[in-house]
Amino acid sequence: MTDRSSAAGKPIRTAITDEDGIDFAIIELFFFAYRDFTSDPDQILADYGFGRAHHRVLHFVNRRPGLTVAELLDVLKITKQSLARVLKQLIDTDHIVQVQGLRDRRQRELYPTAKGRALALALARPQSRRIRAALEDSGTAERASIERFLEAMVNPELRAQINIVPAQTSGKKNGDH
Amino acid sequence: MTDRSSAAGKPIRTAITDEDGIDFAIIELFFFAYRDFTSDPDQILADYGFGRAHHRVLHFVNRRPGLTVAELLDVLKITKQSLARVLKQLIDTDHIVQVQGLRDRRQRELYPTAKGRALALALARPQSRRIRAALEDSGTAERASIERFLEAMVNPELRAQINIVPAQTSGKKNGDH
DNA sequence: GGAATTACGTCAGTACTGTTGACGTAATTT
DNA sequence: AAATTACGTCAACAGTACTGACGTAATTCC
């Protein structure tokens, strides 16, 4: 082993570059940035026996309280089975509750509990800190550019999902309780 | 099922917002952006029976030809065993070759073959296209800001890895040739 | 009202990527 | 010669994802 076995291709000793108009610089930066971006919450999650999947579910249930299982599947782009285990654990551990839909009683609306809200915040905190620090490094004025860039990286058809976000009008969407 | 079982916490019906100073907007954008960023190569990889791990190995071996297994482990931040399977497949399929180190014959220097170089380029092409499109959307002048931001998102201690890159990143970082 | 469809839960089986721990070997260093 | 290093490999296991199929309750369609 270890040597060029006769049949194998010859080693190319020159590095790939941005020659062909391929933007390796940003490709690589994106990889490193995302890796470290997820590393903070990953450590917290480990204490709960949770993984990254739990985080995503928790995040979106907190962001869009009352979304249904089908909507969640659509946002996460995973299958029912993949979600099932993770969601079950979050429900069993009292981070999320299901409420029967009013309009359609087949639907399960998902809501965070106080516990689930707290965990979501705890997980987001280090990420937000990292973002703030990065923005400061590059000048606060750049924030809009970054947002535009990231949004433009998303598939156009799917960009709708992003804007479903709760418009944060302090929303008394329903004044009941 | 489906109802609030007595012991469970009460559902919180208000969406989490950027109130607590948490930057949910960018957190979410980053998730969506990365999800779609990796989706293009994932489809190509499927044709080869490869996964995302193969892509990463292929990428870095092309970027830093001659790096050793230990260096690769350090960049990817995974364990030897995780790398082993993936690397073996890439070698068996003649995308990567190992060459005994000259200085230290225990080391295996990793190089892409022509086949491996071609695949790396094919995988990077759609990603680069997506990046270019996104940059155009946000104005080409923003490129530097994006790079700075992404780099600032990386853990400071690990930022060194980025700059090991084969010089002449996207141009003017150093004025050679 | 009965049939089709929908929303969900769940069971079975599988794949990929990641982990830890241990052991072996060749090469280098002390 | 002994210790260490770089790597390969074996075993066992975990987390997350997938496909396909089946069941049930609720809604919609005719």
Which of A155-169, B32-46, B54-68, B150-164 is least confident?
Answer: A155-169
The answer, for B165 touching chain A at a CB cutoff of 8 Å, is yes
State the smallest CA–CA distance between residue B88 and chain A in angstroms: 11
Q: Do β-strands B96-100 and B108-112 pair in parallel, antiparallel, or remain unpaired? A: antiparallel
Q: What would the DSSP string read from start to end of B115-162?
A: HHHHHHHHHHHHHHHHHHHHHHHT-GGGHHHHHHHHHHHS-GGGHHHH
Does the pLDDT of residue A5 top 50, yes or no?
A: no
Mean pLDDT of A54-83: 96
Which nucleotide is at minimal CA–C1' distance from B57?
C17
Distance CA A121, CA A116 (A): 9
Which residues 42-101 of B are in CB contact (within 8 Å) with A?
56, 59, 62-66, 77, 94, 97-100
Domains observed in chain A? 26-158 (1.10.10.10)
Distance C10 C1' – A123 CA (angstroms): 30
A84 touches strand C (CB under 7 A): yes
Residue tagged 């009683």 (tokens): A105
Mind listing the pLDDT tens digit for each residue in B32-84? 999 999 999 999 999 999 999 999 999 999 999 999 999 999 999 999 999 99
The answer to whether residues A98 and B1 touch, using CB atoms and an 8 Å cutoff, is yes
Distance CA B58, CA B120 (A): 6
- Token pair of A53 as six digits: 């999947």
The answer to whether residues B72 and B60 touch, using CB atoms and an 8 Å cutoff, is yes
| Mean pLDDT for chain A overall | 87
Does the pLDDT of residue B104 top 50, yes or no?
A: yes
State the smallest CA–CA distance between residue A80 and chain B in angstroms: 17
Which nucleotide is at minimal CA–C1' distance from A82?
D17
C-beta within 7 A of nucleic chain D, residues 15-44 of A: none
State the smallest CA–CA distance between residue A55 and chain B in angstroms: 11
The answer to whether residues B88 and B1 touch, using CB atoms and an 8 Å cutoff, is no
Mind listing the pLDDT tens digit for each residue in A10-65? 899 999 988 778 999 999 999 999 999 999 999 999 999 999 999 999 999 999 99
